[in-house]
Structure 1
C-alpha cells in the first residue's frame, strides 16, 4: 500500500507540473482562439533568462544575498517576457486580426522557432542550473500508518504546491476580474469585443504577459529539476494531451487533465509496464488523448461547438 501511495503522490505532483505548462496553452487560446505552439519555446526562453541572469547579477554572500539575486533574476526574466509579449502583439498579432485560425497557428510556430534561435544566441546553448533553494532530499510521511512511511520528494511537493497556488490565482483572475472577463469576451468573438470598446491590443499584451509569467514559473520548476537545456521545450509537448483531455478553454480542465495524465502514466508504467516491456510512460498520455479525440473531442470541460444552419 505504501508503494502504491508513493506512486500515486508522485503522479499527482507530476500532473500539477504538466497542468502548469498546459495553463499557458489555455490562456492564449482563451484570448486569441489559436493553439499556441510557442508555449514550449516560451518555457525554455524564460528558464534560460532566469538561469543566466542569476549568473550575471553580482552575488552576495549568505542566504539573504542568494535570495536577493534570485529575486532580481526573476524580476528581470519576467520583464523580458513582458517585452516578448509586447513584441508578439505589435509585430505579429496586430497584423493578423480577424484572419483565419490557420494563419495564427502558423504565426505561433514561427514565434517558437524564433525564440529557440534567439534564446540560443542571447543566452548560449550550454546546460545551465537554476538553484532557487528548493530542498532535494526526500522525506518520509505517514510513518505511523505504514512501516517505513511513504517516500516523498520535497522538491516535487513544493513545486506541486507552487503550481496549485498559481492555478488557483489564474482561475480567480478569469472569473472575478474585469480583465479576465474581457479576455473571455475576446476569445468568444474578436469583432464583437472590439465593438463594445475592448482594446484587442492591450488584452493580447496582458494575456501573453500572463502566459509568459506562467512559462517563467514552469521553466524555473522544471529547470530546477532537470537543468536548463534545449530539450526542456520538449517537456511542454506533454501538455498537449493535457489540454486535449481537459478542454482548450478550461482552466479547471487543465488541472484535471494534468492530474489524470500524471497519475495514469506513473501507475501504468509501474503496474502494466513490466508486462509490456516498459516505455508506457512515454506514450501513455498521447494514446489517452487520441481516445478522447475519438469520443469527446472538446475535452472533459471544453465547450461544445454547435453550428446552426
Structure 2
C-alpha cells in the first residue's frame, strides 16, 4: 500500500479549521522544479506586500510574475505510477500556469516570514485533487476543467460567476471522454491501462452534470464584468471534451481585459489579446466559463 509522506511543515488550508501536512509521495527533486525561481517570485511578493491585494489582483500579479516562462506540455505527467502534487517554475502548460498562480496567491494569504516548496505543494494538492486530497493515485487528480470548476466551487475555493458575467447557453449532446479514448497520450494511462475503465466511469458522471457557458459572440459585451485574476476556461467546438484551454484574465494599464496564458503557439506564458479577440482568432473556440478565486 502506498504511504503518504507527511512533510513536517504544517499549513492552514482554505477551510481555516484544520492544519494538515502536505502530501508528497515522490521526492521534491521530481515534484518541485525551479525552486530558485519560486523563491525569487515569493521574495518580490513579500517585498511588495502582494498578500495585501484583493484575491483576484493577487492571482493576476503572480501570473504576470511568470510571464515569459517556457511552455512545456504534459508538465503534470511526472511518473509512470505514483501521483503526487507538483510544481514546475521552469516550464508551464495552460493548466499548471493558472493553478500555480492560484496556489501562490492562496499560499501567501497565510502570512509568514518565508515559504517553502511544501507550502505551495500543499495548496496545489488542495485545488488539483478531488476533494482536496491526493492519496498517490492518478485518478485522485481532477483531469477535466469542468470538474475542476465544480469541485473547487463546491469547496469554496472559487465562485463560478459565469452566469453573472454574461448570457449562458447549455452545452448538450457532447461526450466528455477525450482521455479514455486516447490513453496512449497520457504517461500514467500508458503504464497502467487498467485505470482506463475507472476513468471512463468518471467521464460518464461528468457528462451528466449541466454545463453552461458564455458564447464567444457575447464575450466582448461581457468583458467589463470580468476581473483580473478570474480563471477563464476556453470552451471548445471539438468533440469529446468541453474545455480545451485555460488561462487568467488580466486588466492592463490601458484598461483592456486580456487573456494571460501559457501559449502552445507562442511557446511561453504571454499576455495575449483581449479576451474576445483571442476567442475570435480560433474557429474551434466556442466561448468561456469564468471562475473567481475567493
- Higher relative contact order by CA 8 Å / sep ≥ 6: 1 or 2? 1
* Bigger-Rg structure (1/2): 1
TM over 0.5, yes or no?
Answer: no
More strand by share: 2
With normalisation by structure 1, the TM-score equals 0.26
